[in-house]
Amino acid sequence: MKKTILLLIPIALSHFAHAQWVNDENNYTSGQLAIGSSATWAPLTINSVSGANGNVGVSLAFDGTIHPEIGYRFKANGSNYYQVLYNGSHIMWKHYESSNYVPKMSLSNEGNLGLGVASPSSSLDILTKSVSGGEHLIKLKVSDATTDYLTIQNNTGTGGQFIPAIVGFHESDNRLALRLTASTSSSTDNGSNALMIFDSRQINGSSHSAISARPLFQWSNFTDAKMTMLANGNLGLGTESPDSKLAVNGTIHTKEVRVDLNGWSDFVFANDYKLPTLKEVETYISENKHLPEIPSEAEVSENGINLGEMNAKLLQKIEEITLYLIDQSKQIQAQQTEIEALKNEIDQLKTE
């Protein structure tokens, strides 16, 4: 009886094989082949029902352009399917989500790497899920300083908005957190182009134009603006609305200030300059409580002063005072001459 059973096994296997395969050297079965279970999800499927994952499988398939699609799947608390495939232009890693395979990583023939992107258009092309605010898109660390890192992240707490931010972080030990350096290896660099440029612009399709309204740049200390540059080039230190090329809300400490002026106060010494009399100056001061052509205290409090213009005005007054002193000196000298003459006359009268 045992010999009969052993003889029937190869006969049955041979019959089964011929039932599944057409073996004439060139023709093969047109169905799908499954190994490990009857579940098929490609022309060749290898399944396993053992292990903690419950269902693990590998498949080999071909798409319409005869490019191999190799997939890996597992089931854990539900169904999770992963695919690795090549479609002629990209190697892709996909995950099955809501009846669709969603690309998680893709590598193009040109070497472009995409994360969340099926067809990356740059060396590194990253697409995250819908934002809720504050996401870290890229995080870089080193193994011997795991608490320090560099991130590219979303700098808004509002969903549906993306404000890219570069953040450097380290534990507090008096080290740099982030450094930007533009360098050159040339020891004789005498070029005219800037080594580092921060550029702002408005982009509308292929058309680029300058920003005309909003500020271009702001340096803040946790939302407290310390330096602001407007679109018109006005720079503010301690103010967010500078009204001139440099507006400083605070004290300036410097060794030298150079002011370019058009004209100076030497017109006072011209022959046709009409020097007001001291009586006229006295009358003006009595009525206005400040010197002629000099702003009043109220005007200075409201508008400040123009440093170059005020220096010119002060010099004008000094030059006018100089003319007054020269005139007085001439009068004193004439009086002294007259006094000496009178003294001589008196002395002569005394001797007679």
pLDDT digits (tens, 9 = 90+) for 13-50: 344 444 455 555 555 566 677 776 666 666 667 766 55
Please indicate whether residue 110 or residue 182 has the higher confidence score (pLDDT): 110
Per-residue pLDDT, 323: 96
Tell me the three state secondary structure of residue 152. Answer: strand
User: What is the average per-residue pLDDT within 318-322?
Assistant: 96
Per-residue pLDDT, 19: 43
pLDDT in tens, 58-98: 666 655 555 566 666 555 445 677 788 888 889 998 888 87
pLDDT in tens, 328-349: 999 999 999 999 999 999 988 8
Q: Name the one residue in this structure whose structure tokens are 């597992």.
A: 74
Per-residue pLDDT, 6: 39
* Phi and psi at residue 239, to the nearest 5°: -145, 140
Instruction: Please say whether the beta carbons of 164 and 152 come within 8 A.
Output: yes
Instruction: Please say whether the beta carbons of 169 and 175 come within 8 A.
Output: no
Q: Is the pLDDT of residue 285 over 90?
A: yes
Please indicate whether residue 132 or residue 314 has the higher confidence score (pLDDT): 314
How would you label 48-67 residue by residue, b for 16+ Cβ within 10 Å and e otherwise? eeeeeeebbbbbebeeeeee
What is the sign of the dihedral through the CA atoms of 99, 101, 102 and 104?
Answer: positive
User: What is the average per-residue pLDDT within 236-245?
Assistant: 94
Cα(169)–Cα(150) distance, rounded to whole angstroms? 6
DSSP type of residue 320? H
> Torsion-angle region of residue 308: left (phi > 0), alpha (psi -120 to 50) or beta?
alpha
DSSP type of residue 107? E
Per-residue pLDDT, 98: 79
Tell me the three state secondary structure of residue 318. Answer: helix
* Phi and psi at residue 305, to the nearest 5°: -135, 155
Q: Is the overall model pTM greater than 0.85, yes or no?
A: no
Please indicate whether residue 205 or residue 273 has the higher confidence score (pLDDT): 273
How would you label 180-207 residue by residue, b for 16+ Cβ within 10 Å and e otherwise? eeeeeeeeeeeeeeeeeeeeeeeeeeee
Per-residue pLDDT, 187: 77
Cα(260)–Cα(280) distance, rounded to whole angstroms? 33
The neighbouring-strand residues paired with 164 are 154
pLDDT band at 107 (very low <50, low <70, confident <90, very high): very high
The neighbouring-strand residues paired with 167 are 151
Per-residue pLDDT, 5: 36
CA atoms within 13 A on the CB side of 297: 3
Please indicate whether residue 113 or residue 95 has the higher confidence score (pLDDT): 113
pLDDT band at 2 (very low <50, low <70, confident <90, very high): very low
Instruction: Please say whether the beta carbons of 57 and 48 come within 8 A.
Output: yes
Please indicate whether residue 74 or residue 154 has the higher confidence score (pLDDT): 154
Q: Which two tokens stand for residue 262?
A: 């058009």
Per-residue pLDDT, 159: 75
Q: Which two tokens stand for residue 245?
A: 């090329």
Mean per-residue pLDDT of the chain: 82
Please indicate whether residue 51 or residue 260 has the higher confidence score (pLDDT): 260
pLDDT band at 12 (very low <50, low <70, confident <90, very high): very low
